[in-house]
Amino acid sequence: MAIRALALVSGGLDGLLAVRWLERQGIHVVGLHFRTGFVHRAREVWIDAARAKGELPGSGAARLDVVDLREAYLRLVREPRHGYGSGLNPCLDCRVLMLRTADAIARERGIELLATGDVLGQRAMEQSRHALERIDAEAGVAGRVLRPLSAALLEPCDAERAGTLDRSTFLRLHGRARRAQERLREELECGGCPASSGGCCRLADRHVARRMRDLLSRSESPGIHPDAIALLDRGRHFRLGHALKAVVARNEEESRWLTEHAGERWTCRAADGHGAVVLVDGECSGRDLDAIAGLAATYSRSSGAGCVAVELRRCAEPPVSREGVPIDPDRVADWRI
Ligand code: SF4
């Protein structure tokens, strides 16, 4: 009977290459994706398409399971044991959590092996030899994980030691260069999968990290609404009060998105429609409305002409008209998150 592997798939190329490679060795693979709420959008789209199709595109029909890890992941973002990467990404803790959870699932299903698309030395924080060993030890999966893209450079896993895997077939990818992965992409016919460079989640982005820090500092409840997370990499963000934020679209597409996702929240825009949509995120008083109208005026086409007529809208209520006074650039900079 073919050996079975549960392969962690983040939606990037490396995970899919690992799946393809394992399949070529006759290993039966099931893909496992963890929803954290912060995965890059291109990857989310790819994962959703794979899920709808019932298998990983470009694989030999490997099934894809998706597990929601958002609550546990958010706890790590608040208080990581091992600190953050370049942004607010708790990579070491995240890898431990994912491998530990994957291992529990694998054991429950009687799957012998875990697999990942890790490439030795590709990312200093979580893919150095020392980090990989430390992650495996902390997750309690030492010897259970195969990293086929770099396996020839790593200590053999239990299945290799037991002789059920042929070490001579494994790859020796290492370092940051992506040429080898791109060659493999062609060889293994993994076209269409998003690139793995740039990390797997949005928390590595410094703008997103700053906004997330702001969000965490203002929310006492352990959970954060998914809407607030979806907003993190959209628009320009301004902190107007402890519980009040304004998000100003940067282009027409974002204006549309903010309008469509406003729900019960107010939006504000120049009455002539030539300006950015401002989403009001939080409770606001009359004075706050002046600031919001001012932001809509500042980011309108008529901002150089003094007061600008703006309209506030919420759900199906009739629009509220107001005069917006463009805001002093220093003040705008002070509010910026
Ligand atoms: S970048 Fe990847 S490993 Fe790091 S925290 Fe985000 S999902 Fe986890």
pLDDT at res. 297: 97
Q: For domain 4-202, give the CATH number.
A: 3.40.50.620
CA 86 to ligand 1 center in whole angstroms: 11
Candidates 61, 56, 69; CA nearest to 99 is 69
Our answer on whether the CB atom of 117 is closer than 6 Å to any ligand 1 atom is no
**Ligand 1 pocket test: which of 41, 47, 78, 94 has the largest number of ligand atoms within 8 Å of its C-beta?**
94
CA 142 to ligand 1 center in whole angstroms: 20
pLDDT at res. 271: 96
Our answer on whether the CB atom of 94 is closer than 6 Å to any ligand 1 atom is yes
DSSP string for residues in 283-298: ---HHHHHHHHHHHHH
The SS3 assignment for 178 reads: coil
CA 200 to ligand 1 center in whole angstroms: 6
pLDDT at res. 196: 63
CA dist list (Å): 280 to 6, 180, 191, 240, 289: 43, 47, 41, 10, 9
pLDDT at res. 236: 98
CA 208 to ligand 1 center in whole angstroms: 14
CA 163 to ligand 1 center in whole angstroms: 33
Each residue's pLDDT, cut to its tens digit, for the chain (337 residues) gives 789 999 999 999 999 999 999 999 999 999 999 999 999 988 999 999 999 998 888 777 789 999 999 999 999 999 999 999 999 999 999 999 999 999 999 999 999 999 999 999 998 788 999 999 999 999 999 999 999 999 999 999 999 999 999 888 899 999 999 999 999 999 988 887 887 666 689 999 999 999 999 999 988 777 788 889 999 999 999 999 999 999 999 999 999 999 999 999 999 999 999 999 999 999 888 889 999 999 999 999 987 778 999 999 999 899 999 999 999 999 999 999 9
Domain boundaries, the chain: 4-202, 234-335
CA–CA dist 94, 80 (Å, integer) = 9
Nearest atom in ligand 1 to 36's CA: 7
Taking CA atoms only, the protein residue closest to ligand 1 atom 4 is 91
Our answer on whether the CB atom of 89 is closer than 6 Å to any ligand 1 atom is yes
Our answer on whether the CB atom of 200 is closer than 6 Å to any ligand 1 atom is yes
**Ligand 1 pocket test: which of 33, 135, 203 has the largest number of ligand atoms within 8 Å of its C-beta?**
203
Burial (CB count within 10 angstroms: exposed 0-12, middle 13-18, buried 19+), residue 72? middle
Residue 39's beta-bridge partner residues?
Answer: 201
Contact 110, 98 (CB under 8 A): no
Query: Alpha helix locations (H) across 194-239?
Result: 206-218, 226-231
